[in-house]
Structure 1
Amino acid sequence: MAEIDAILGKYTDPKTGSIHGASFVAVDANGNDIYRKSFGHQKVDIKNSPPLTLDTVTWIASQTKLTTSVSVMQIVERGLIGLDNDVREVLPQLKELKILVGFEGEDGDMEPEPENEDDGQGPYNPKSVPRPKGKPIFEDVKGPITLRHLVTHTSGLCYDLASPLLMKYSAWIGRQDNMFSGTIEGFFHPLLFQPGTSWTYGPGLDWAAKVVEKLTGLEFDEYQQKNIWQPLGAKNTTFFPAKRGLTPADIHETACRAEGKGSQDLEPGTCPWKFECRDALGSGGLFSTANDYSKLLAALLSGGGPLLSKASVDELFRPQIRSGAVKGLREFIIGTSLDNTQAPIWTGSAKVWQDVMELQHSLCGVVNAEDVEGRRRKSTVHWSGLPNLIWYIDRESGVAATFFTQLMPVGDRPARQIWLDLEEALYKIVNKK
């Protein structure tokens, strides 16, 4: 434990560290703690900040997706829908969706660059994109859009602000909502490929949450409280912290690197997520705590606990996608990695990206296709959250862990390195046992 203490102390040291506050929790298959501590502060200005604790409420971003996948497996287990049923029969509005192929005319045929109006969204302002002169070109969806497609990112839905083509479409049609608007309308836009044929990171789980709502008659936050958080005894997780009496001052503050300065120079950053969203959004809307989230991981590691049957947990973590989607997944991971510092997340050594291991995708995250020496075993499933959070469940080794912080931008080098340092130290303990 001393080595993990030293790692967290090093990275959160106010004078020499690179993160203002971080929590790390690891549990075994019997639900026992291997490690559970917080270091650092809740705010960037540490002189006026309480210490960070395991119960500090934090925006967990895409770590929300695991909870939505659990909700989906619950309604499948109850026979309300099948993973391969067409969700458009439950959500008729999705029958309007087509596949966006491109725009008429030359690629450079655009209206003049608009003035960058301040709409409170900063760099996520859709008005900053010029409007194409030509009309969009669509093709019809040729098969079903299934629940399995939605939760494995193979539906064709892509986050709009991650796609230049969808940004052009938004400019052309004059969309006001986007992925950070706090509304389901922010995720209503064309697909980019035929469902099941490729992989791209997107809002499928937001629509999966809407399927849960429609079939259970419960708003998604209420559904999760009754079916996930209350059974786990987790009291501080919600899509709507303001309704719990919390304010932005109560939340783990987002930090960012001071431009042009060293890794120790942090300043308060802007969280892209709206504190008061209109909708409970299943791909990134939850606020939680390290204590609460680790209860979810422990339940899944132990075989489902009060949430799911073991058969459903097996299905949740099983590789799910076909070769075309595996190719898309690999291209996404390679294409969004700025340098080789991220390769060790997947390989255990600083190899070039072409040497990254084969990967798969389950119903809730990426699956390692092979062992990583001294670290996670084959079939470990993991995913992360935008402000550099991460979780993983290694059923073969009998360990699950999560790392909580609030640091932008995503892919921050020191944050990636602390993930590796903590995982290597954790597995020294696990492997010794």
Structure 2
Amino acid sequence: MAGLDRILGKYTDPDTGSIHGATFVAVDEKGNDIYRKSFGHCKVNSKNGPALTPDTATWIASLTKLTTSVAAMQLVERGLIGLDDDVRNVIPQLQNLKVIIGFEGEGDQSPKINTETHQGGPILEDVKGPITLRQLLTHSSGFCYDLRHPLLVKYSEWAGRQENMFSGTIEGLYHPPVFQPGTSWEYGPGLDWVGQVIEKLTGMNYSEYQQINIWEPLGAKDTTFYPAKCGVTEGDIHELAFRAEGERSQNLKAGPSPWKFECRDALGGAGLFSTANDYSKLLSALLAGGGPLLSEASIVELFSPQLGVSSMAALREFVVGEGPEGGKAWLYTQSPEEWKDVMEIRHCLCGLLNSKDVAGRRRKNTVNWDGLPNLVWFIDRESGVAATLFTQTMPIDDPPLRQLVLDLETALYTMINST
């Protein structure tokens, strides 16, 4: 534990560190703590402010997605929907979707979009085949986040859309898919639409569904889509910090979160506020076989590879990125020079899977995902360990945070492999 203490203390040192606060929790397959500590402060540039703790309320961004994957598998277990059922039969709003494939006049150097006459508008084609629950869970449905894709940025301008992926509304996530379902891979709002499927099939608000079917069975009391309704103020939560590009020191600036504190809809892709203590209870249950949330058979399905060949090829582009500093390849290589030769990475119903052991760290078939302000989680069933790092530092894949993740994981496995 001393090694983990030194790492977290180094990175959160208010004078020489690179982040203002971090919590790291690791648990074993019996639910016992391997490590559970917070270092640093809740507020940016505050040496004397409130100390960060494992019970500090934090916007967890895309760590929300794991909870929605679990909720979806609960409905599959109950026979309310199948993984390959067409969700458009549940959500009529999606029946009118068409795939965007381009814009008129794209051959011009500067195609103009006339929002009044709709000249120079989008080229759309009918959706071919179903949009399945499995595809929504694995980001292979055709949906992509609107601010990530140039076609959708242009579409929003053309359509005069007023809401987007950070609006806290399902309307902000309603726009054309960018490829035919099942033919590629793009990171997007599939899990938000899964939350809508759950609402339709259960007749419950998704927030209420999660409380009754996930957090209450786990004994977790501080996780919600609506923190203001639970007496939590914006001043109570872990403050978001921003680092200038190329900067690596503690020179952080506090800034507003892209996520609205009081959102209208309970969005299953990014909307939860939680604590490291609560979230580790979820990881512990999944590592231990699913109880009290899912059966062992559902856990096996949840963690099994799901993508076809064409979707796998697109996923690899996401993982590898455009160079050693891009993508997620840094999680699976020993040095930046290895990024082109990164092992085959697969996608299950709740995250990425590595096909081989990573020397000195995670074993093969470890599942992991992250959240925008550099939160991460992983579940390594082969080693019997799950862990999460809670931070609130931007931008995503911030170099110092990347190194912190690698240092913590290496130290954790050194500790558990020596016992």
Common fold, TM-score beyond 0.5? Answer: yes
Pairing of 1:64-83 with structure 2 (within 5 A): 64-83=64-83
Q: 2:409 aligns to what SS in structure 1?
A: helix
Pairing of 1:211-222 with structure 2 (within 5 A): 211-222=197-208
Alpha-carbon distance, 1:352 to partner: 3.6
Native 8 Å contact 2:333 2:339 kept in 1: no
Pairing of 1:172-321 with structure 2 (within 5 A): 172-258=158-244, 262-321=248-307
Partner letter of residue 228 of structure 1? I
Alpha-carbon distance change, 294 to 337 in structure 1, aligned in 2, over 3 angstroms:
farther
Q: 1:382 aligns to what SS in structure 2?
A: strand
Match of 2:111 in 1: 110
Spell out structure 1 runs of 4+ moving beyond 4 A.
258-262
Q: 2:356 aligns to what SS in structure 1?
A: coil
Distance in 1 between residues matched to 2:333 and 2:260, nearest whole Å = 35
Match of 2:91 in 1: 91
Q: 1:54 aligns to what SS in structure 2?
A: coil
Distance in 1 between residues matched to 2:213 and 2:235, nearest whole Å = 29
Distance in 1 between residues matched to 2:247 and 2:200, nearest whole Å = 49
Mean Cα deviation higher: 338-347 or 215-224:
338-347
Distance in 2 between residues matched to 1:295 and 1:179, nearest whole Å = 28
Q: 1:64 aligns to what SS in structure 2?
A: helix
Distance in 1 between residues matched to 2:243 and 2:141, nearest whole Å = 35
Distance in 2 between residues matched to 1:416 and 1:172, nearest whole Å = 37
Say yes or no: does 1:367 pair with 2:368. no
Pairing of 1:322-341 with structure 2 (within 5 A): 322-335=308-321, 339=325
Match of 1:37 in 2: 37
Partner letter of residue 223 of structure 1? Y
Partner letter of residue 46 of structure 1? S
Native 8 Å contact 2:69 2:137 kept in 1: yes
User: How many pairs align?
Assistant: 417
Scaled by the length of structure 2, what TM-score is found? 0.96
Match of 1:121 in 2: none
Match of 2:55 in 1: 55
Alpha-carbon distance change, 263 to 231 in structure 1, aligned in 2, over 3 angstroms:
same
Partner letter of residue 369 of structure 2? W
Alpha-carbon distance, 1:49 to partner: 1.7
| Consecutive unaligned residues in structure 1, runs of 5 or more | 114-126
Alpha-carbon distance, 1:19 to partner: 0.6
Distance in 2 between residues matched to 1:419 and 1:161, nearest whole Å = 26
Alpha-carbon distance change, 352 to 338 in structure 1, aligned in 2, over 3 angstroms:
closer
Say yes or no: does 1:385 pair with 2:376. no
Alpha-carbon distance, 1:271 to partner: 0.9
| RMSD over aligned Cα atoms | 1.8
Native 8 Å contact 1:341 1:413 kept in 2: no
Distance in 2 between residues matched to 1:341 and 1:334, nearest whole Å = 5
- Name which of 158, 162, 166 aligns with 2:148: 162
Alpha-carbon distance, 1:257 to partner: 1.6
Native 8 Å contact 2:100 2:124 kept in 1: yes
Distance in 1 between residues matched to 2:327 and 2:295, nearest whole Å = 38
- CA deviations 1:223-254 (Å, max 9, x no partner) are 00000000000000000001111111000000
Q: 2:337 aligns to what SS in structure 1?
A: coil
Scaled by the length of structure 1, what TM-score is found? 0.93
Native 8 Å contact 2:4 2:411 kept in 1: yes
Alpha-carbon distance, 1:430 to partner: 1.8
- CA deviations 1:31-67 (Å, max 9, x no partner) are 0000000000000131452000000000000000000
Distance in 2 between residues matched to 1:30 and 1:77, nearest whole Å = 24
- CA deviations 1:118-144 (Å, max 9, x no partner) are xxxxxxxxx9xxx98512111111100
Partner letter of residue 180 of structure 2? Q
Distance in 2 between residues matched to 1:329 and 1:341, nearest whole Å = 10
Match of 1:21 in 2: 21
Native 8 Å contact 2:113 2:119 kept in 1: no
Native 8 Å contact 1:88 1:145 kept in 2: yes
Alpha-carbon distance, 1:197 to partner: 0.8
Distance in 1 between residues matched to 2:37 and 2:120, nearest whole Å = 56
Task: Report % sequence identity.
Answer: 67
Mean Cα deviation higher: 104-113 or 264-273:
104-113
Alpha-carbon distance, 1:301 to partner: 0.1
